[in-house]
Structure formats: structure tokens, C-alpha cells
Homo-oligomer: A and B are copies of this chain.
Amino acid sequence: VATIKQVAERAQVSSATVSRVLNGDQRVAPDLRTRVLKAARDLKYRRNSVARNLRRRQSETIGVVVSDIENPHFTQSVRSIEDAAYKQGYRVILCNTDETAEKQSAYLEVLAAEQVIGIILAAASPSDPTITAVLDMGIPIVAFDRSVDDQRADAVIGDNIEAARVATDHLVKKAGRRNVGFISGRLEIQTGVDRLKGYQDAMLDLGLPTVLGHGGFRLGSAQQATRDLLADNPLLDGLVIANNLMTIGALKALRTAGKRIPDDVAVVSIDDPPWAALVDPSMTTLGQPVRQMALRAFELLMDQITTQRTAARVVVFSFELCVRHSCGSVESGPAVSNRSVHSVPHP
């Protein structure tokens, strides 16, 4: 609990000098420097960052806010961001909003209060006025995975419409299914809306009727939605699922209902989590280059911070279809974890 003042006293210098030494200011005479360093060591001095941040009006940490910490999509992203940020001398603190607007607002306030220099946000609520408030304070935001209403934020997202369209087409054209259902994510989120739209567009083009279950991006809800869908649609023979967590729920429901995959119901999942190749049967998925996208988000944030750029940027990444066994044998069924059969072009 030593302060700069105490260190200064012990080293027989002013606290200004102590501060300069501790911050690596070169213009301090070597002998004073040594004295200060020794005194600091003796007293086990630790800088009080709160005071420092108050004075400097900024910290060295960036905030990451995710909507669901239990979703590997986000944890992989966070890991990549943290790695890159740490190497450049930044620290990252992470908050989980649990898909609720209230928590998102609360945590954005916490991060703003801690004077983070920037925020990467996977929004639970894109219209949250706190987003605007944070931006007003001059703290840059990069929307990740999900866009945000305030146009001043940069955004890194996947081509979600195309992904769902490719998934649906695959089930119909390659796997020969006709009664293809869709387990949707949260429709308050553009990403959820877009994935639904891709499915609907594809089915419309194919002249097939749509069958919807609402999973809200949650495992449990998806399980329930799948159960209901199966009960109401005995002819269902294909299923597109809007994210990886919901796929776990849907698989459980399919098993409980005694449905065989792919014989009874063929399945394609959006997102390509680590276990996709290991489940029974292995999952055909549409994966995003998650780590690459996370790095891009971090770069955009750094760019905003360092260049004072004001024009917002939107970066869209393509998904990639990974054909495995959940749709039956389709042409040359590749081995475990083999990828890249089809690459969605970026518009």
C-alpha cells in the first residue's frame, strides 16, 4: 500500500520524479533513477491504476463483451483477440451479457467507467442506447458477429444470408430432402434474421414450404423447438440449425424422438465447433474463419484508436461448407475434419 509520495520521501526526490522514473521518462538523471527504483523496491510499491487512469483519462485495457460465454464461437474469438492484444501491450477484460439488453447496458457502463480504450461487442441488443452513449464518450466500438444500430461502429460479420441459403440448398439438392425445417436464432439480432432469411429465400426459390422452430440461440430452447417441430411435422426429413449450441439441443431432441441421422432427418449446422467432426454422425456445417475474424475486429479497433478514423467500416467474411456425414453420403464424403468443399463467394 505504498504510494508515490512515500517512495519520493524515501528516495529524497519529488513525487514528480518518481512518476517520471516509473513511466520510463528518459530525462531523469541516472543517480536519481537508481534511488527511486531502490526505494520503490524496498517499499514494494505498486502503481494505483485507478488514480493513474483518472488522471490520464484512459487505461491500457480493451473490453470485450459477448452475448454468451458458453458459445465456443465466442470463446475462440475472445482467445484470439486476447492473444493479439496482449502481445501489443494491451490487456483485455471480458464481460458476458447472457443475451440480455439489461446486462449489456450494465457492462458497457462498467467498461466505460473503467476507461477502456475500446470495445469489441457481440451485441445482445443492437439498439441499446448505451452503445450510443459509449460512442459519444469517444470510446470506439467494433461490432463483432452481430451488427449494431449505431452506424459509427465498425463491424465484422459473416455472410449469414448466404450461409443459410447454402445449407438449405445442400439438404435439398445434394441430400434430396423436401421437408426441410429451420431452427432459428434470436430474431432481435440481424444475424438471426439473416440466417432465417437465407433459409426462407432458398426454400422459396425451390418452391418448397418452410417449417420453423424458434431456438433463440440457446441449447435448451432449441431442444424444445426441435421436439415440437418433430411432433407437428412427421414428414420432416431435413433440418438447418442456426448455430452450434442449438445443434447440441437439436441432436438430443432427435435422438429422444428416435430419429436416425441422416436416414430419417438430415442435418446441417451453422458454425463449425471443435466437436463437429466427432459427434455421431459427424456434422455437415457452415463454418466461419472465427479466429481470422476476431483478429480483424481487433485490427479495426486499433486502427480507430490510433488513426482517429471516423468513417465506419464493415467487413464481411464468407462461410465455408464442410461436408461430413449428417446429410448422408454425398458425392465424395471426405474424412473427419476435412473441410473446404464449397466456398461461399463474398458479394
Contact = CB atoms under 8 A, between A and B. Distances in A.
Interface of A: 1, 44, 46-51, 53-54, 61, 69-70, 72, 75-76, 78-79, 82-83, 86, 91-96, 98, 103, 106-107, 109-110, 112-115, 133, 137, 219, 248, 251-252, 255-256, 274-275, 277-282, 336-337
A113 B50 contact: yes
B275 A279 contact: yes
A256 to B, nearest CB: 8
A110 B61 contact: yes
Given A110-B61, A281-B280, A94 B91 contact: no
A82 B219 CA distance: 19
Nearest to A96: B82
B94 A93 contact: yes
A272 to B, nearest CB: 13
24 contacts: A1-B137, A46-B109, A47-B113, A49-B114, A54-B54, A61-B110, A70-B72, A70-B75, A70-B79, A83-B98, A86-B103, A91-B95, A93-B93, A93-B94, A93-B95, A114-B114, A219-B274, A248-B275, A251-B278, A252-B277, A252-B278, A256-B336, A275-B275, A280-B282
B46 A112 contact: yes
The 8 closest A-B pairs by CB, nearest first: A280-B280, A49-B113, A94-B94, A275-B275, A93-B93, A278-B279, A50-B54, A69-B75
A110 B96 contact: no
A47 to B, nearest CB: 7
A49 to B, nearest CB: 3
Contacts of A72: 70, 72
A55 to B, nearest CB: 9
Given A82-B96, A248-B274, A279-B279, 14 more contacts: A46-B112, A48-B54, A49-B113, A61-B110, A69-B75, A70-B76, A78-B96, A83-B98, A91-B106, A94-B96, A251-B278, A252-B336, A256-B336, A275-B279
